[in-house]
Amino acid sequence: MIDTFGRIHTDLRISVTDRCNIRCFYCMPNENIRFRPREELLTFEEIERFVRVAAGLGVTKLRLTGGEPLVRRDLPRLVAKLAAVPGIDDIALTTNGILLAEQAAELRAAGLKRLNISLDALDDELFRQIARRDGLDRVLAGIAEARRVGFDKIKLNAVAIRGLTESQVVPLGRFARERGLELRFIEYMPLDAEGRWSDEQVLSGETVLRLLTEEFGALEPIEPSHAGQPASDFRFVDGGGTVGFINPVTEPFCEACNRLRLTAEGQVRNCLFSLEEWDARALLRGAAGDEQLAALLRDCVRAKRAGHGINAADFQRPQRAMFQIGG
Ligand code: SAM
Ligand code: SF4
């Protein structure tokens, strides 16, 4: 699936729910949320069929996300189904970690290869301020259990917010270094549900890198391991591991983007910031054959724009917030 800019799409992000057990202010509203009725969500069988078609068109990597994917009942069953699809060689999961302690072993046994756990703050009060719910202890327990059951290369994702999370940069750096976890800082993007984002709240990767350098000494850049990798990775020169920066606002990486997204209710998007969607659910629930699904995917890829345009004067936010897309 090559778009008009020559980008080859091998990576599919699948949202399995728009529900979540916390309410991060940069993603979800705090109250009065209208979740999709359950019957609108794709079933595991529908997701599997979609993935078979996508794999036939060159998709090799999957990431399950949401909302919070671990609130979707029976998720390991989906992982096992997707792991058996010919052509899929990597399945990853992004989770807030709250339910991970209970599910880590089963997910691993089902064929999950990689885990990204979101953790923006190690301070209890700040965690609560961001997530608008309790949960830090459970996230920490989830991380410990994931390591115990043998997940390696666990990544920790931290959204960096100016005026709020500067104090967490060094503690998170230390936490990750001590445990051999790959820490990645993500710039805050205009996908909050309440429409309050402003570029003044973006704590840039460059600033975070400076804070880490001041505490831990020099970091040196690492060559990207594959094209399409959004993170710029650095190595602590003292041997303390690596840290990555995903800088969609200050250093957009759209020219290397190889991703497509499937929302929980079966809409295909070619960008987080896409203003258009392609209705795969209508095909999956109608009489359409696999060729029609493949044609829909090709149409979606063909329509992909050069970039998200966050920094352009005429930038238009998508209607959906992050939890309704799948990060
Ligand atoms: N609930 C899971 C979690 O939090 O890991 C998976 C879904 S969440 C939408 C995926 C990732 O997107 C998380 O790492 C989250 O921190 C990040 N995210 C959410 N809203 C964001 C925003 N406005 N800007 C940058 N990252 C965001
Ligand atoms: Fe839930 Fe993840 Fe959104 Fe936070 S970022 S509200 S954990 S879906």
Q: Crossing angle for the helix pair 100-110 and 75-83, nearest 10 degrees? A: 20
Q: Name the residue with the closest Cα to ligand 1, atom 13.
A: 118
Q: Say whether 325 sits in a helix, a strand or coil.
A: helix
Q: Is the pLDDT of residue 227 over 80?
A: no
| CA–CA distance, 106 with 74 (Å, rounded to integer) | 10
Counting ligands in written order, which one lies closest to the CA of residue 131? Answer: 2
Mean pLDDT (the chain) is 96
Q: Identify the pLDDT of residue 168.
A: 98
User: In this predicted structure, what is the pLDDT of residue 309?
Assistant: 87
Distance (angstroms) between ligand 1 centre and the Cα of 313 equals 25
What is the atom index within ligand 2 of the atom nearest the CA of 98?
A: 7
What is the reported pLDDT for 230?
81
SS3 at position 317: coil
Q: Which ligand is nearest to the CA of 161?
A: 1
Number of H helices, E strands in the chain: 10, 12
Mean pLDDT of 42-58: 98
pTM, to two decimals: 0.96
Q: How many CB atoms lie within 10 A of CB 239?
A: 7
Domain contains 6: no
Residue 228 reports pLDDT greater than 80: no
Domain presence at residue 236:
yes
Q: What band does 9 get if pLDDT is binned at 50, 70 and 90? A: very high
Neighbour order of strands in the sheet with 267-269? 219-221, 232-236, 242-246, 182-187, 155-160, 114-118, 90-95, 61-65, 11-15, 259-262, 267-269, 278-279
Q: In this structure, are residues 20 and 28 in contact, taking their beta carbons and an 8 Å threshold?
A: yes
**Which among 257, 277, 287, 271 is positioned nearest to 327, based on CA atoms?**
271
CA 303 to each of CA 94, 116, 159: distance values in angstroms, whole numbers, following the listed order? 27, 29, 29
* Residues whose CB is less than 8 angstroms from the CB of residue 271 and which lie 6 or more positions away in sequence, other chains included: 254, 257, 261, 304, 305, 308
Pocket test for ligand 1, best of 186, 194, 203, 272 (most atoms within 8 A of CB): 186
Tell me the CA–centroid distance for residue 86 and ligand 2, in Å: 31
- Does 310 contact ligand 1 (Cβ within 6 A)? no
Report if residue 115 sits inside a domain: yes
Residue 3 maps to a domain: no
| Full domain range(s) for residue 69 | 11-325
Whichever domain contains 164, its CATH number is 3.20.20.70
What's the total number of domains in the chain? 1
Alpha-carbon torsion (291, 75, 79, 91), positive or negative: positive
Beta carbons within 10 angstroms of residue 57's beta carbon: 17
Output the pLDDT for position 185.
98
Specify the pLDDT at position 224: 81
Atom in ligand 2 nearest the alpha carbon of residue 322? 3
d(CA 103, CA 229): 28
Is 2 domain-assigned?
A: no
